[in-house]
Structure 1
Amino acid sequence: MSATSTRRILLTDKAVKSLPYAEAKPQIVRDARIPGFHVWVGKTTKTYRLQYETPRVGGKRGTTMVQWLGEHPHATADEARAKALEIQALRARGEAIPRLVVAAVPEAVPALTFKAAWDAYKAAITKEGKSVRTIADYQDKFDRHLKDWHGRPLADIKREDVIQEHAAITERARKSRAGQKYSSGKYAANGTMRFARAVWNYAKDELEAPGLPQRNPFRSGKLFHKEKARSTGMGVSELPAWWAQLQALANPIRRELHLFSLLSGLRRTDVITGRWANLDVIRPSLKLPSPKGGDERAFEMPLSNAMVECLERAREAGRTYFPEESKEWIFPAAGGHVAEVKEEGRQKLSHTGHALRHSFRTLAGAAGIDRLRLKILMNHAIDDDVTDAYANVPALFASLLDAQEQISAFILRHISLGASK
């Protein structure tokens, strides 16, 4: 794209900030001191660049080269100026300019595709220790809902494209609910766009990809569907009916799995991937080395007597049904561990998986457990509040164990009361 040259000024952060964006053709505003150093002003971006010619060969004029030095305001004018001077010094000494930082013309710079941006972002969050499950969820959204955008340059994705795709994902996910992990097309669309927004922000702020607009086209604004917290937890009055359904299950391993889910409030994946190696029956506790949030959220969950007894029954049943798998997995199945917690057919349970985590939260509140200890037991972040942030979690183990005992006793007491009626 050709641009119109304008005046020469001393390029400073303040001066560049005051430059109006181009209405039609991009504008080139040259620096008053360094030849070739300028800012390319487009409709939505302002990019520092250095333009120069390669030496003449055989009397023929050299090739015009353009070096991209960073985008305002992510790169300062002083940073860009320093890079320009460094390149000029290399040229004056006759040294080669590194190929990775030089482009023949602006149009020759490879456009950063959505896939390339995701690959870079995935590498970054993997390095920082993001949970394997979170990364897998992002990959699923990328593969399932954004496959048509894999090869599309990020800079070409406009707000209107995002709005249309959000609506399309909503409809596609809604129609394919049966047998899919997404419970709602609205939630699938929102979650996909949150993921895309994170990828775009990384490309903008960390990769400093040229040509991206000032505002993220995936921003929430008024785009996202309104979401409501799901009220799926059981109260005390529902416990007896659920307990009767549980006792009707033929598989003893699955019976203990669901009971442990209710007594612990653990996330589904943490339950089914529990290993005997992480169990300490003396302390007593179960270590979760890589829960949601990654290694940084690893924690040691205190176990009530009822929880320990539940695991002992699971061990006995596992050894009977799956001798080899039960050596490693607390809730074994053929070839590994239990993979699906839902019960189908006549033995269907009213509450499984995350609904039991919600039930734990509801019943723990009814048992009178304070908010801080409950947040820790559920492995929720406590550093949002300054006072909570001072809590020494390891030092609270005895108190957390007491809270766990209270919750288990409360749940089992109300199950027994209902069963005796």
Structure 2
Amino acid sequence: MADIRILLNDKTVARLPAATSGQYRARDTELKGFYVVVGKRRKTFAVQGDLREAGKRASSITVTIGDARDMATREARATAKEYLAKISRGQHPKAEELAEKEEAEEPAAAPIVGITLRAAWERYRDAHMVRKGRSERTIDSYRDHVERIFKDWLDTPLVELADDPAQVATKHDEITKESGPYIANGSMRTLRAIYNHARKTNRGLPADNPVNAIDWNQEQRRDSGMGPADLTAWFMQVAAMGNPIRREFHLMTLLSGCRPAALMEVKPEHVDLRRRVLHIPKPKGGAKRAFDIPLSRQMILSLVRAMRFGRFLHPLEARVWIFPADSAAGHLVEQKEARKVLSKWGNDLRQSYRTIATTAGVSEFDARLLMNHAIPGVNAGYITRHKLLEEHLRSQQQAISDTMFAALGETVKKTAVMQAWLAPRATHDVIKEARMARLKENGWTAKAA
């Protein structure tokens, strides 16, 4: 079963289903690094963090907190905060226990010569990924592959895998059965990259990468996008959502085609209303791939609504983030919705954007530029994107937004729930009513005023 993200409390932990095979992690949405490991019979609280030396990552460690049957989630969370604080200071939370255990044990056997997967991963992470500005999300994805899927191989010399590629092929088959074809292929791509990087400084490693022994699973692009005919039902679902900030987040994902993880981290300073652009500083590929999204009229209105609701609901966090939330990060960290609440979200909306762009008459070339996709062929080097941004790409963006809203027909005018969301001054009226209700709860009355 794949790892999940939920708000950990006694109720949600108790409801977690036992793993059918192996283990999976339920990561807390509020406290980064805090999670519960769910096996076939046990649920165990733990934390994961990076030990640092001289301000640089030295190693990633996992520390067990306790059995979920023996301690409350609140107690585990408090311990997790204490452990994570120590880790951030470069201290192992259980350093004394480990020292006592080492003293009691017999001297360890001589280590096997050759770089291990753990050492190769740490060098690849620091010398390649961090140095090249890969995002934390990308690094976390690779770390999950290495430290969860390949945890039994962490202290295995890479030369052993190279000399016996059959075990790599067998591992790929096992992952496919337990976690699915996509995770199996993805984890093997990670292993392949780490091995190739290790060979640069370990010339004794065989040139033939052991991952070459596997038979790759067939992968198909998920066809989950919407066309114009599907938009009215989707808009009605979004309009019915209780959280207005999440509502605007999903709408902006659809209108922009932006990756949700990058959109979650935009700040007010990234919005330039004079130029009508939204700057995305850390998209997939890191800071070097930073780009500006031209804004249509509908996108500007959505951002304004998000900022106004943010200032009312989360005044402190809204100073920093466009989509603020009551989370440890201060902004939205989870895009997922129950499908019965919202049928399409996340990358479904990116596919919808690309599909509707074609309906709007936007060319494949312009759609790639708007979504910050790489341009294939030799022509890519001759394109100056920002020269097209001010007029041409903005007109294409407006055409896409107009096509989406045109598909709604008279729904906005004739439906109360859509009027309460998209009608002029609707946001002002909603916030005014909510503010009055809040004052009445605190004992304020018009007569007393």
- TM-score, structure 1 as length reference: 0.68
RMSD: 1.9
**Is residue 349 of structure 2 the alignment partner of residue 356 of structure 1?**
yes
**Residue number among 361, 364, 367 corresponding to 2:360 in the alignment:** 367
The answer to whether the 8 Å contact 1:315/1:326 transfers is yes
**Residue number among 310, 316, 319 corresponding to 1:318 in the alignment:** 310
Shift of 1:223: 1.3
**Residue number among 320, 324, 332 corresponding to 1:328 in the alignment:** 320
The answer to whether the 8 Å contact 2:168/2:214 transfers is no
State the distance in 1 between where 2:283 and 2:116 align: 32
Give the aligned length.
Answer: 299
The answer to whether the 8 Å contact 1:284/1:302 transfers is yes
**Is residue 338 of structure 2 the alignment partner of residue 344 of structure 1?**
yes
- Amino acid in structure 1 at the alignment position of 2:122: D
What is the aligned partner in structure 2 of residue 198 from structure 1? 193
What is the aligned partner in structure 1 of residue 119 from structure 2? 116
Greater Rg by CA: 1
Shift of 1:271: 1.5
Identity %: 39
State the distance in 1 between where 2:167 and 2:312 align: 56
State the distance in 2 between where 1:271 and 1:119 align: 29
The answer to whether the 8 Å contact 1:373/1:400 transfers is yes
SS at match of 2:209: coil
State the distance in 1 between where 2:285 and 2:202 align: 27
**Is residue 379 of structure 2 the alignment partner of residue 391 of structure 1?**
no
What is the aligned partner in structure 1 of residue 54 from structure 2? none
State the distance in 1 between where 2:322 and 2:353 align: 20
**Residue number among 281, 297, 303 corresponding to 2:289 in the alignment:** 297
- Residues 9-48 of structure 1 aligned to structure 2 (within 5 Å): none
Shift of 1:109: 8.4
State the distance in 2 between where 1:118 and 1:108 align: 18
Shift of 1:413: 0.7
Shift of 1:380: 0.6
- Residues 18-417 of structure 1 aligned to structure 2 (within 5 Å): 110-125=113-128, 126-157=130-161, 158-173=164-179, 185-204=180-199, 206-210=200-204, 212-219=205-212, 223-335=215-327, 336-344=330-338, 348-382=341-375, 384-397=376-389, 398-416=391-409
Shift of 1:171: 2.4
The answer to whether the 8 Å contact 1:301/1:377 transfers is yes
Shift of 1:376: 1.1
SS at match of 1:230: coil
State the distance in 1 between where 2:270 and 2:280 align: 7
State the distance in 1 between where 2:185 and 2:410 align: 43
Shift of 1:134: 1.4
The answer to whether the 8 Å contact 1:236/1:363 transfers is yes
State the distance in 2 between where 1:159 and 1:356 align: 40
Provide structure 1 residue ranges, at least 5 long, that are not aligned to the other structure.
Answer: 1-106, 174-184
The answer to whether the 8 Å contact 1:325/1:332 transfers is yes
The answer to whether the 8 Å contact 1:240/1:418 transfers is yes
Shift of 1:244: 1.0
Provide structure 2 residue ranges, at least 5 long, that are not aligned to the other structure.
Answer: 1-109, 415-449
Q: Residues 327 and 155 from structure 1, CA distance in 2 versus in 1: closer, same or farther, beyond 3 angstroms? A: same
Once the two structures are superposed, what CA deviation does each residue of 1:46-97 show, in whole Å capped at 9, x if it has no partner?
xxxxxxxxxxxxxxxxxxxxxxxxxxxxxxxxxxxxxxxxxxxxxxxxxxxx
Once the two structures are superposed, what CA deviation does each residue of 1:375-398 show, in whole Å capped at 9, x if it has no partner?
11111111x311233111111112
Shift of 1:132: 2.5
